[in-house]
Amino acid sequence: MEHFTIATVAEKSPDFRRVLWTGEHSQLVIMTIPPGGEIGEEVHPDTDQILTFVSGVGEARVSGQTRKVAAGDLVVVPANRKHNFVNTGPNPLVLYTVYGPPEHSEGAVHKTKEEADALEEAGKDEPPTS
């Protein structure tokens, strides 16, 4: 059994993305988006994603719709939907997300969005294979 005090763990992480746990069918990831930053527009063809916001403020942009997000909000992104999350505030936008199935390599840590993008382009951040 894994146990996390997830808001505390997420708040303490300075990394853009950190994979906390990977199972056969899902994955838990924490993210910290700096002021003015964003996750970047993307689509996961076969992966659902649930994002829960811990602190900060931002915008959720999913399938052409935009909504404000803040601590306590949860956004569901079904597979194959274009999405992006943007920090619109003066402080980091901190969240945790659950992917089903896993989206990133087990134990991955990306200190910045640029590092994450480079690893994904190089094919070095692939989810585990069964």
- Give 36-82 pLDDT, tens digit per residue: 999 999 999 999 999 999 999 999 999 999 999 999 999 999 999 99
Domain-embedded: residue 15? yes
pLDDT at 124: 72
Note down the domain range covering 68.
Answer: 6-121
Instruction: Give the span between the Cα atoms of 20 and 90, in whole angstroms.
Output: 26
Residue whose pair of structure tokens reads 């063809």 in the numeric block: 45
The whole-model pTM stands at 0.90
Instruction: Give the span between the Cα atoms of 107 and 124, in whole angstroms.
Output: 12
Domain-embedded: residue 24? yes
pLDDT at 129: 57
Domain-embedded: residue 74? yes
Domain-embedded: residue 97? yes
Do the beta carbons of residue 44 and residue 97 sit within 8 Å? no
CA angle 129, 96, 2 (to 5 degrees): 65
CATH number at residue 53: 2.60.120.10
Domain-embedded: residue 127? no
* Total structural domains within the chain: 1
Domain-embedded: residue 78? yes
